Chain A
Amino acid sequence: MLEQLAQLTVNGLITGTILALTAVGATLVFGIQRIANLAHGEFLTFAAYVALLLNVFCGLNLFVATAGAMLGTAALAVLLHFIVLKPLSNRGLVATCLITVGLGLMLRDVIFLVAGPEVRKFDLDQTIVYDLGLIRISPGQAVAMTITVVVAPLVAYFLARTTLGKSMRAVSDNRDLAAVSGIDVERIGTYVWLLAGALAGIGGVMFAVVQGTFDPNLGFYVLFLVFTTVVLGGIGSAFGALTAGFVLGLVMELSTWSGLFGGLAPKFKPVLAFVALILLLLYRPQGLFGKARVL
């Protein structure tokens, strides 16, 4: 039991960190651009496939491939911003949602067409298991841990200490006030897509690596976990998203612990997240750390 608890905690922390990083990007986009980017999941898929290309077909190691995916996804995000989303930003909430749905469909299906629906994996020997006594971790989890242990503090530092990071949080929190204080809101709007793309880039590869195998539906399945994290942390709150990611990751994993009345069957973990999302939107849309905005 204890062993299971320890294992689940580690799993939860790993998943949680990945969720947290991805959600920071998504929440800032939501807060700054006021867009519920339903294509965000496809950014993750795109990243995984770029990494696949670099890792398996170009022979680069996984860390370099992740960096490449990060750059590629950031570029994609900014491209979409300039070509589609910015010119159409005046259409209203629902129209923008539909547009992001359309973009997501396009992206996902181009990947299906180009890369095929076959299940893929990285050039990583998933049969090795690192046995650390109480817990075991797979190579995928090891890679994810290594990367996120480096990236997460960097992101936190960026948000807390750099001018750009602080400006982003300011615009997300209160756009008008930020503009009046001299922050170039337009430019921040562009940078946030870069950040969100980069973080989605890392997140996408990490999800794929931890899962072991993936197909073009990766992003769609993870989209709701990311959105739940965003809402849980308070839409627009970067640190909220960071914290909420850990919380959600741990809660989802620990819910299957047999010490909790036998535990939730693992296949229902996503349902837990979906239900949490709906309940949050209905009863506490400001999440744990957001302000209660007038809806």
Chain B
Amino acid sequence: MDLFNPGFWTFVAVIAGIYGIMALGLYVQFSLAGLPNFGHVAFMAVAAYAMAILVVRYEVPLALAALGGLAAAVVLAVVMGVPALRLRADYLAIATIAGSEIIRYLVMSLPELTGGAIGSMGLLGPGEIALYNQDWQAFRDAIAGLVTPLLGAAPSHDEVTMALVWALLIGLIALFWRLERSPWGRVLKGIREDDTAVAAVGKNVVHFKMQALIIGAILGGLAGLLLAWQIGVFSPDDYQPTLTFYAYLILILGGVNRIWAIPVGAVLFSLLYTGTRFLNFFPLSLFDPGERAFLRLFLVGLLLVLFMALRPEGAFGDRRQLMLEK
């Protein structure tokens, strides 16, 4: 693929949309409520695996299984949240990253339940191949069918996914933009700065933080489901702890406290991600496909450091409102 192939750009858009939703979940937890969750990927993984297990093992219809996946993410949030909300910022970061590693490790070590390292293909046990996203593909084809007469040509699979994902992303951002400006958002803003002061005027701080955590979990779970459906077959490696830092990078690129900058950050990130995967001009051509993955991670690390050092408010953020000094 190269820069002039529209398929490349569609793929960029799909990835941007999915990771954007994941970043939005982190935005609610981190930018709104001030919770540095370094284990966000766990919500994605739990939702995806719960959904796949329900479809493949228990033959639950996909829509219901998707809800089941989201429910699993919520359960994880509640389990995490009840004790974790009283931790100091950096302790919370360590605890959450440890938590997400436990989840990934457990997934790998319990192949009877999760298919182990092979991933979702192994969900039915050795010798059988499990597929769970036929329903999603059917749904996608149905939409393609509906839209074809309007467009005059059949849209590709990726184009339909792109449209669906971006419709979701924009809709969700609009919703949370409104909520941010509501009294609910105001309490969270207060909590970010000084949760004791907010408690002293009678607001149930734990309740608000818990809400943010659960919302973030649902959004993360949704992103996890979409990612699973998009790649078809997934394994624990698709939900590595580094994904959480993709979300942070997206927020930082666009501006940690600007919700509308999320799509921008997501697209920039996606360009980095898919560019290193598919583009072949110099200097990328120096690296073979296996090495591209390492290069990509290196660049993610580099950008994290550079932005935190030189422009912590991101491309569009407001330095005055920056709450990172705690």
A105 touches B300 (CB 8 A): yes
B309 touches A92 (CB 8 A): no
B252 CB contacts on chain A under 8 angstroms: 98
Cβ 8 A contact of B309, one of A99, A109, A227, A274: A99
Cβ 8 A contact of A92, one of B106, B300, B304, B324: B324
Q: Is A88 an interface residue (CB 8 A)?
A: yes
Q: Is B320 an interface residue (CB 8 A)?
A: no
State the interface size on chain B (CB cutoff 8 A): 44
- Residues of chain A in range 36-63 having any CB-CB distance to chain B below 8 Å: 36, 38
Cβ 8 A contact of A88, one of B36, B89, B90, B309: B309
B302 touches A285 (CB 8 A): no
B324 touches A95 (CB 8 A): yes
A295 touches B301 (CB 8 A): no
Cβ 8 A contact of A84, one of B101, B294, B305, B324: B305
A295 touches B91 (CB 8 A): yes
Cβ 8 A contact of B105, one of A102, A108, A110, A270: A270
- Residues of chain B in range 298-326 having any CB-CB distance to chain A below 8 Å: 298, 300-305, 308-309, 312, 324-326
B88 touches A295 (CB 8 A): yes
Q: Is A275 an interface residue (CB 8 A)?
A: yes
State in angstroms the CA–CA spacing of A227 and B90 once bound together: 12
- Residues of chain B in range 52-106 having any CB-CB distance to chain A below 8 Å: 83-84, 86-91, 93-95, 97-99, 101-102, 105-106
A282 touches B84 (CB 8 A): yes
State in angstroms the CA–CA spacing of A93 and B326 once bound together: 6
A278 touches B301 (CB 8 A): no
Residues of A within 8 A of B (CB): 36, 38, 84, 87-88, 90-99, 101-110, 112-113, 117, 224, 227, 267-268, 270-271, 274-275, 277-278, 281-283, 285, 295
Q: List 23 A-B contacts (CB under 8 A).
A: A36-B94, A38-B97, A84-B305, A87-B309, A90-B325, A92-B325, A93-B326, A94-B93, A98-B245, A99-B305, A102-B245, A102-B300, A107-B301, A108-B297, A113-B291, A113-B294, A113-B295, A113-B298, A267-B109, A271-B105, A274-B99, A281-B91, A282-B83
Residues of B within 8 A of A (CB): 36, 38, 83-84, 86-91, 93-95, 97-99, 101-102, 105-106, 109, 242, 245, 248, 252, 287, 290-291, 294-295, 297-298, 300-305, 308-309, 312, 324-326
